[in-house]
Chains A and B, each alone.
Chain A
Amino acid sequence: MIIFDIKRYAINDGPGIRTTIFFKGCPLRCVWCHNPESWSTEPQILFNKNKCIHCPKCVGKNADECPTTAREICGREWTLDNLVKEIEKERDIMEDSGGGVTLCGGEPLMHNEDALALLKELGRRHLHRCVDTTLYADPDVIKGIAAECELFLVDLKLMDDAKHRQYTGVSNRLILENIRMLAEMGADFFIRIPLIDGVNTDETNIQDTIGFLQTLPWKRKTVNLLPYHDVGKDKHIRMGSQYNPKGYTMKAPADNTLDSIQKAFIQAGFTAIIGG
């Protein structure tokens, strides 16, 4: 499986202290994405020009030889064995903190078989499993995954389908249906909403989101509100691609906007947390 990062001491990706596994490849193309290097399923070379010391002879595609790591290979093949070995290094801290492993991406469900195999193995080892996903996937795949994880972190970006297509490249219908399915199955999940001024912080979207979530038979009733930041910009530069090519207006929401959105959720009976 192609993994582009493994992060230890992840404290914003679910309960406790976790190790987060980043799968490469995503069906969505969210304009604000802070991990655009996760879009393609293929390994690629990123170039960070700030680190470059202009060697007389550049290593070029042989990025592993780059002295400064200005050129860096993003995405490497991992065997299940090696990945589990890497994860096991954190067993003590996971157990002591009530943490575990989070599969993230990209979209882990795009790698259904690999993700499922990994989750099953982690389950055999009694590690807590969490999947951070767009839910843009076949409902049967999701059912299979749901049987092998304890918690989902589900991204919900926009309620208006036209806007969803405009900003993410795909329709939200499948996503909304899958959220409903998860709730009806009784699966445990958090909803995570990136908040981007100019895209989805308007009252209509917030009220529609609340309205939708209120119709779900959802026990957890907890949303994480994640204020937008533009780390994606730098990643695009390293990829040699353009950030926000259509020039949409995107801003971090002001504190009072955040505040009133949080209040709106709370008033509607949800637990609303700013940040992961």
Chain B
Amino acid sequence: MNFQIKNPENEGGMNERIKRLRQQCFDTPTTLSIERALIETAFYKENYGTMPIAVLRAKNFYEICKKKTIYIGDDELIVAERGPVPKAVPTFPELTCHSVEDLHTLNSRELQRYTISQEDIDTYEKEVIPYWKGKTQRERIFNHVSKEWEEAYHAGVFTEFMEQRAAGHTAMDGKMYHTGLLDVKARIEKKISELDYIYDPEATDKQQELEAMAISCDAAILFAERHAELAEQMAAKESNPQRKAELEKIADVCHWVPAHAPRDLWEAIQMYWFVHLGTVTELNGWDSMNPGHIDQHLYPFYKKGIEDGTLTRDKAKELISCLWIKFNNQPAPPKVGVTALESGTYNDFTNINIGGVDRNGNSAANDISYMILEIQEELHELQPGLSIHIAENTPDEFLMAGLKVIRQGHGYPSIFNPDTYVKEMTRAGKSLEDAREGGCSGCIEVGAFGKEAYLLTGYLNTPKILEITLNNGYDPIAKKQLGLKTGDPRTFTSFQQLYDAWHQQMVYFVNLKLSVNNYIERMFSLYAPATFLSLYIDDCIDKGKDYYSGGARYNTTYIQCTGLGTITDCFTTIKKHVFEDHRYTMEQILAACEKNFEGEEQMRQYIRNHTPFFGNDDEYADSIAVRVYNDLVNAIEGRPNTRGGETHLNMLSTTCHNYFGSVCGATPNGRFAHFAISDGTSPAHGSDSHGPTAVIKSLGKLDQTKSGGTLLNVRFTPALFKRDEDIRKCASLVRTYFKFGGHHIQFNIVDTETLRDAQKHPDQYKDLLVRVAGYSDYFNDMTEQLQNEIIARTENSAV
């Protein structure tokens, strides 16, 4: 531990219990559990069609809570798992029913393997698969879409998030810490009693939804009670008096929460964990769950415990560490097909927000924030992800403490700017207070925590759209006419003409994507309402409407645009060398791209070295990036969705820039075919050569408040983080970027030599975590392509 600990008495780091739990988590293989699918299938067989869908979903959830195997491990203080044991991931056949072949692939694939026994595969084939044939969300979607949509989807022009998983991006506000589910249920019952069946034409729908919500309360309470009973049974048999006392306490805690509001820190953490598991058990939302500003939520319990002498800092840290282990026990549900290519990782993107501002705009960093930094550094697990939030009024001390954890090279925390994201949210119509209570979930996406349903629907491949434009609507990789006929670019006489053609194609594909988004949203509303999650998102109960049906106070639909750096560089290449300097003709550029620059290395090198590229604080390139960005905003923003809200754009790529690159031929900027495109709003790989200050200035020219988040990856060698003085300078870099309106920045601190060695000797680097794009992942779990990209990302070395 290299950073100063605020509280010297705790210098010992992880205690023995946490060390054991952490090791156990690392040693446990990731498995697939068919238990949830079996319970659900049996329930659906018997009940589908006999009750309203909302009630069916709630009772299904109840059934799972009642029947699933429950688990309390040795040493555990915070209890409950999503699967029957840690790291066992359930399936959700109502959304995507894995085929026998899928299960074999998951069991044997090299990366992100989910082991499953042949016996379970046989059972799945017999009991689960036949029932769901034709009834899954995935089939509903693919049976509906047009040929144009399907061809563009398979060609990689865009992806679709909700074909295998439910929409995610759910983060919590603080309400669960003040209200138990019994009170919530009483409120629901009161709402039902007040329904007006004469003048409110939606009253029946509301009644069904509210009844379903009430059942969901019972389900979660039952789930907790079962843990209380198990803990009591274990306590009765336990001979070690200390463990016996712990088990008795666990039983007390689980009898109390989530039925009642928590009274101490232990109960508060367990409360959150039950709510977390509830939402990821009823559906498998992407970026599944996030406690939001947990430091603010837990602080009052911590303070009270310390003041009345019932808690020590060590005990508090141990309890929070136990929660951290729980996060890492939950690998993401397995994906298949294109979706596995675009985002193949065990990481389920829980992104804890610390620091930042409170509802009144005051700096919110507190003792728990610092404690969480310590825990993150000590445990450095894959999950949860962590972000520090640095507003203008956040003390430097906190930023420096965060940077010192970043220096360790585990890839987190990432750094966010509340001053910008609060503006993003108020611009999108959220109240100032709700915006301040919001933050970032998943990678970089903003939302009003506890009050918004913000659905990410998929990525848009902007360089691919240019490739299609350069071929008059034809995709040379898929060998199909996918886009509009916007003209043969060889006949274009100005850059404007090319830009207009791309713009027309881009709008066409955005529209294509949006038309299906709306359909998918309706399918979730009709077939997969989230009646438990709706308990925790305002104003679902007041409106009597589900999370997926417009119940939330704010309802946003996002399209994530990727490749801003790459497409800008392509545009500057053509503008400068074809239309201004006449060094090359369009024909020459297109021919070179077609043959992947074979025999054209001289041209490719000239382009790479003599073109103004994005990320160098060069107005020539930056003005084009701004134009592309603004046009994407204009094309996407403000379309009505099915939930009374609007569409917005954000700018992230996760690992999709690799998949998108793989489906894209060589591009005019000298990028070879199938190589990754640029990630987030970062410059394209190798394009920025003027250091990090030039990068942040280029990025600062985008009006980031128009987005729902941007992403900037900066790779620093450890040398740039060596001394405290260097860290201070890095802190200034962050502050200046945020002054320019930057939304997010993250640093990957690892040297190339280490990474190369890790490629050669993967077994020696099992715990090497690196920042990918909005999240961290184990280097060993990545494809070679992604590993190479991480290595190739510009090194800002200050020799």
Contacts and interface: CB of A to CB of B under 8 A. Distances in A.
Interface string B772-799: 0000000000000000000000001011
A49 interface: no
B11 interface: no
A12 B798 contact: yes
A93 B732 contact: yes
A96 B728 CA distance: 11
A229 to B, nearest CB: 8
Contacts of A12: 798
Interface string A162-177: 0000000000000000
B729 interface: yes
Contacts of B202: none
Contacts of B720: 11
Interface string B602-643: 110110011000000100000000000000000000000000
A93 B602 contact: no
Given A92-B739, A97-B732, A67 B796 contact: no
B740 interface: yes
Nearest to B732: A97
A53 B597 CA distance: 14
B179 to A, nearest CB: 43
A10 interface: yes
Interface in A38-65: 53, 55
Contacts of B480: none
A31 to B, nearest CB: 20
B726 A11 contact: yes
Given A8-B690, A275-B723, A96 B605 contact: no
A264 B617 CA distance: 45
Interface residues of B, number: 31
24 contacts: A7-B691, A8-B690, A8-B694, A9-B692, A9-B733, A9-B796, A9-B798, A11-B720, A11-B729, A11-B798, A16-B732, A17-B729, A55-B602, A67-B603, A67-B605, A68-B605, A89-B617, A92-B740, A93-B736, A96-B732, A98-B732, A99-B732, A231-B799, A275-B722
Interface of A: 7-12, 16-17, 53, 55, 67-69, 89-90, 92-93, 96-99, 231, 275
A233 to B, nearest CB: 14
Contact of A53 (B602, B610, B691, B722): B602
A223 B239 CA distance: 64
The 5 lowest CB-CB distance pairs between A and B, nearest first, are A97-B732, A67-B605, A9-B691, A67-B606, A68-B605
B136 interface: no
Q: Which of A53, A69, A90, A92 has the most CB of B within 10 A?
A: A92
A10 B736 contact: no
A40 B740 CA distance: 40
Contacts of A17: 693, 729, 732-733
Interface of B: 601-603, 605-606, 609-610, 617, 690-694, 696-697, 720, 722-723, 725-726, 728-729, 732-733, 735-736, 739-740, 796, 798-799
A72 B732 CA distance: 33
A8 B616 CA distance: 11
B722 to A, nearest CB: 7
A67 B592 CA distance: 16
Nearest to B690: A8
A67 B726 CA distance: 36
B745 to A, nearest CB: 13
Given A8-B691, A10-B798, A90-B693, A97 B736 contact: yes
Contacts of A8: 690-691, 693-694
Contacts of A69: 609
Give the secondary structure class of A's interface: loop
Nearest to A86: B617
B392 to A, nearest CB: 12
Nearest to B692: A9
A193 to B, nearest CB: 18
Nearest to B700: A92
A120 B693 CA distance: 25
A53 B729 contact: no
A53 B739 CA distance: 43
Contacts of B729: 11, 16-17, 97, 99
A8 B725 CA distance: 17
A9 B736 contact: no
Contacts of A55: 602
A99 B798 CA distance: 16
Contacts of B603: 67
A86 to B, nearest CB: 10
A173 B463 CA distance: 63
A9 B732 CA distance: 11
Given A92-B736, A96-B735, A96-B739, A67 B691 contact: no
A8 B723 CA distance: 19
Contacts of A7: 691
Contacts of B691: 7-9
A89 B799 CA distance: 22
A151 B379 CA distance: 44
Q: Which of B603, B605, B722, B799 has the most CB of A within 10 A?
A: B605
Contact of B733 (A67, A89, A97, A98): A97
A37 to B, nearest CB: 15
A132 to B, nearest CB: 15
A55 B606 CA distance: 11
A53 B693 contact: no
Nearest to B697: A89
Contacts of A11: 720, 725-726, 729, 798
A92 B605 CA distance: 34
A110 B796 CA distance: 31
Given A68-B609, A275-B723, 14 more contacts: A8-B690, A9-B693, A11-B729, A16-B729, A17-B693, A53-B601, A53-B602, A67-B606, A69-B609, A89-B694, A92-B697, A93-B732, A96-B735, A99-B732
A7 B796 CA distance: 12
A8 B694 CA distance: 8
A234 to B, nearest CB: 11
Contacts of A93: 693, 696, 732-733, 736
A225 to B, nearest CB: 13
B583 to A, nearest CB: 10
Contacts of A10: 798
A11 B617 CA distance: 19
Nearest to A8: B691
Contacts of B609: 67-69
Contacts of A16: 729, 732
Q: Which of A89, A98, A99 has the most CB of B within 10 A?
A: A89
A7 B694 CA distance: 11
A10 B798 CA distance: 7
B598 to A, nearest CB: 13
B148 to A, nearest CB: 41
A198 to B, nearest CB: 22
Contacts of A90: 693
Contacts of B723: 275
A96 B722 CA distance: 20
Contacts of B692: 9
A96 B737 CA distance: 10
Nearest to B695: A9
Contacts of B693: 8-9, 17, 90, 93
Nearest to A56: B602
A11 B601 CA distance: 36
Nearest to A90: B693
A89 B617 CA distance: 8
Contacts of B799: 231
Nearest to B696: A93
Nearest to B604: A67
Q: Which of B617, B696, B736 has the most CB of A within 10 A?
A: B736
B167 to A, nearest CB: 39
Contacts of B798: 9-12
Contacts of B728: 97
Q: Which of A11, A55, A89 has the most CB of B within 10 A?
A: A11
Nearest to A68: B605
